[in-house]
Structures are given as C-alpha cells and as structure tokens.
Amino acid sequence: MGTKTIQGSVIAMITPFKNNGREVDYDSFKRLIDYQIENGTDAILVCGTTGESPTLTYQEHEDVIKFAVEYVNGRVPVIAGTGANSLHEAIELTGFAKDVGADAALVVVPYYNKPSQEGIYRHFKTLATEIDIPIIVYNIPGRTCREISVDTLERLVNECPNIIGSKESVGDMDRISEIRRRLGDNFTILSGDDSLTLPMMSLGANGVISVANHILPKKVRDMVHSALEGDFTTARKLHYELFPLFKAMFMDTNPIPVKTAAWMLGLIEEKSFRLPLCEMSPEKEEKLREVLKSYGLNVVR
C-alpha cells in the first residue's frame, strides 16, 4: 500500500454496544460502515479512541478488527487501532491485524508508563521491524502524557519504511510545519481533531481521522477533498458551516457526544458506554440535540 492510499476523510468509528454495554452490536456496526462508504468516506478506523478501545476486552478488540475487515471487503481501506503501553501487546494486536487483512495499523504512543524518547523510539522500532504492515503513529499527548518528538519521529521514519504517517491530536501548528518540512511530502499527516483539520491541511496535512464523520460524512469529505484539491475557499466555507458540530462532538469526553448523537439520529440502537465512561448530563444532551437540529437532521430520539 502506498503512502498516499490512506488520506482524505477517515472515520474514527464508534463501537456500538447492546444489552447495556455488555456486547458489541454488530448489526448497528454494519449500518454505520455502509453509511460511511455510501457517503464517500475514504477509509475506516476501528478500535481507536472513539471506538472505546480501552474498555474492549482483548478478544473483542480482535473480533471487531476481523469483523470490520471482512464486512468492508476491500471497499475502502481499514485501519486497525493496535497500540498499547506494552510492547508485547502491541505486537500481538498489530500482528493479528495484519493476518486478518487490515490495510494499516494506528499505533498510539505508549501511555501511563511515561517512557523517554529513547523508550518511545525502541517501542516503535521493534514493532515496525517485527510486523510488516503500514503503521500510522498516533500522537495524542493529552491522553498519553507523552508526545513523540519530531526528532524521534524523523529517526523512526528514516529507519522504518513501513512507518508511513502520523495522526496528530495537537493544537501546535508549528509541529505540523516541522513534520512536513523535515519528513517531506511522502509522509502522511492526518488531523486528530475535526476543528483543526483545515488549519493543518493548509500546512500540508493529508486529511483527518474524524469523529464528526458519523453525523455529516459527505460534508466532512467535501471539506477535506476541497482542501486536497487546493480549493481553500470552498474548504473554508465548509469548515465554518461544520464548526459548531466539530465543537459539539467534544463538549464531553470523546466518544460520549458522538455516540449520543448517533443514538439521537437512530444510527445505533443504544447509547451504551462502558464505565468509567457514562452518559452526558441532561443539559448537555439538550444542547447537543439543538446543534443536530440546526443542521436539519432528523432527530428521532
């Protein structure tokens, strides 16, 4: 797979649950996948932050990846979230994703144990050496307590040809400029925050791994593809049109708002979360409902 294959509008898929969160709702999952593909979404990510990967069992994590690859059936690329703060677990999950046919792996910077830059380098170097699958490094310091430095990223890219890009969940545009300047045009940069997608793309990012895609996938795709084509006038217009939705998706901890919105729109059967995540306050739910209605969406709940 070439480095430009995964770009554009990528959905960070929720994991729908049923029976009050006790099991994965694969019927709803199918509908969500079909809805995205029908509306032009370029690729599908499963088992990321939005997919509640921290509360999936190990078996569920593998089952969701396998199901997504088989159900998508080559219609668009499937990216599997396979990161962990344990190298052996990341190797097992990433190897599984490769074996079942995932197109790439999204691997988060190790969290909680707060490794040094050398530790981060060795973690990714070992993984990329052992598992030959395209790897997108997931940089989200707000959740991991550690940011992979541009120096470390450059070192890895120079030594590991299968490290093809990074998902950047940061507000630092200087970092995006530095990555593009130092790593060149063949390195894929994907925004990890809908509201920062257009600013990042103006600096050379290749698209977004989007939460808002669940709600208005065609609009998000049109914004991203306008930017890819250099039509920033259209992209900017769509950015401001979508901006209230972008912010609403993060009025509470992700994926609580987007999962609630999907339930309100009838895209999933239950708005089930797994503790320690729980439902929004009634006040926030009502605010979210009003934002959805402002886009003329059919709010059924």
Active site residues: 138, 167
Task: Please list, residue by residue across 164-173, b when 16 or more beta carbons sit within 10 angstroms of its beta carbon and e when fewer do.
Answer: bbbbbbbeee
Question: Using only C-alpha atoms, what is the Rg of the chain?
Answer: 18
Q: Give the integer Cα–Cα distance in Å for 117 and 120.
A: 5
Q: Which has the closest alpha carbon to 179: 236, 211, 139, 126?
A: 139
Cα–Cα separations (whole angstroms), residue 54 to 103, 126, 273, 300:
22, 23, 12, 30
Q: Decide: 139 and 109 in contact? Cβ < 8 Å.
A: yes
Give the contacts of 146 (CB within 8 A, at least 6 positions apart).
109, 110, 111, 114, 115, 120
Q: Give the integer Cα–Cα distance in Å for 85 and 189.
A: 22
Both tokens of residue 83? 């990161």
Q: Give the integer Cα–Cα distance in Å for 124 and 153.
A: 9
Q: Which has the closest alpha carbon to 169: 291, 40, 83?
A: 83
Q: Give the integer Cα–Cα distance in Å for 208 and 74.
A: 20
CA 126 to chain centre: 23
Per the listing, tokens 């979360």 go with 273
